[in-house]
Amino acid sequence: MTDPVTLPDLLAMKRRGEKIACLTAYDASSAALQDEAGIEVILVGDSLGNVIQGQPTTLSVTLDHMVYHTACVQRAARRALVLADLPFLSYCTPEQAVRSAARLIRDGGAQVVKLEGGRERLDVVRFLTEQNVPVCGHLGLQPQAIHRLGRYALQGRDAESACRMVEDARQLAEAGAMLLVLECIPWELAQEITGAVDIPTIGIGAGRHCDGQVLVWQDMLGMSARLPRFCKDFLAGNAGVREAVSAYVREVKAGIFPGDRHSFGRDGP
């Protein structure tokens, strides 16, 4: 077995220009398969609210749900780094965030915790970092803000919100974030953010210039009722699930996925 992937390894990959392959998983069998195929980061996302629980949003996902699924994944991840989402309203203050992160790390076995938001989360990111809890930020479309946003849509298209997002990314990195997920933003903006921060960016619906890519497992296997435009069904055209994951890893590493038709531009699709 090759050595387990660490955060410094991911940073070194960014510096070398080597793409990072990430997928979501919520159970041990899927995680084992992804791990064997060479996925570097497994995200136990609160998207489990949608794809496992059948909920319309991620808001009903609790810390207990996240701990349970993180522990399932962690048992099977021999090489991949396990990143777990802090669920909705579990990180409102630095003290609450550290208690929530402790559960994901101690009881779930996560190595990094992810939280949504920009400058309004800096206190939380700083405090977690000071306690040696590695943090992954999440900018662009933030599903936990769905009721404020009104709908799941591309973010950062106008100049003002794009500028604000670049500044949020810089501040999150300065506060100690060690990874940054960029969801549903124009590829030009993702490219700018990726160049502006030293930490690896992992995109979903953010174009090919991010340092890595992530997709929801059920989406990349074509199981979802409606495939988002930025996603590709990797099972179609491949002999089985193992082959589909290997194809995903290959295409991400080679910069083939995401292609133009899986990306959004600033001036239109």
- State the binding string over 83-112 for ligand KIV (x if CB under 6 A, else -): --x---------------------------
The closest of 180, 231, 219, 207 to 26, measured between CA atoms, is 219
Q: Does residue 36 have an active-site annotation?
A: no
Q: Which residue is nearest to ligand KIV (CB)?
A: 45
Task: Write out the H or E segment, with its range, that includes residue 137.
Answer: strand 135-140
- Tell me how many residues contact ligand KIV (CB under 6 A): 11
Distance CA 155, CA 138 (A): 12
Instruction: Classify 23 as helix, strand or coil.
Output: strand
Contacts of 66 (CB under 8 A, 6+ apart): 44, 46, 48, 84, 85, 86, 87, 104, 108
The closest of 3, 7, 5, 4 to 199, measured between CA atoms, is 7
Instruction: Classify 179 as helix, strand or coil.
Output: strand
Closest to ligand KIV by CB, 5 vs 43, is 43
The window from 7-15, 43-51, 99-107, 191-199 that contacts ligand KIV (CB under 6 A) reads 43-51
Closest to ligand KIV by CB, 71 vs 204, is 204
Among 204, 210, 231, 252, binds ligand KIV (CB under 6 A): 204
Work out whether 214 is an interface residue with ligand KIV (CB under 6 A).
Answer: yes
Residues that bind ligand KIV (CB under 6 A): 24, 43, 45-47, 85, 181, 183, 204, 214, 216
* Active site positions, annotated: 183
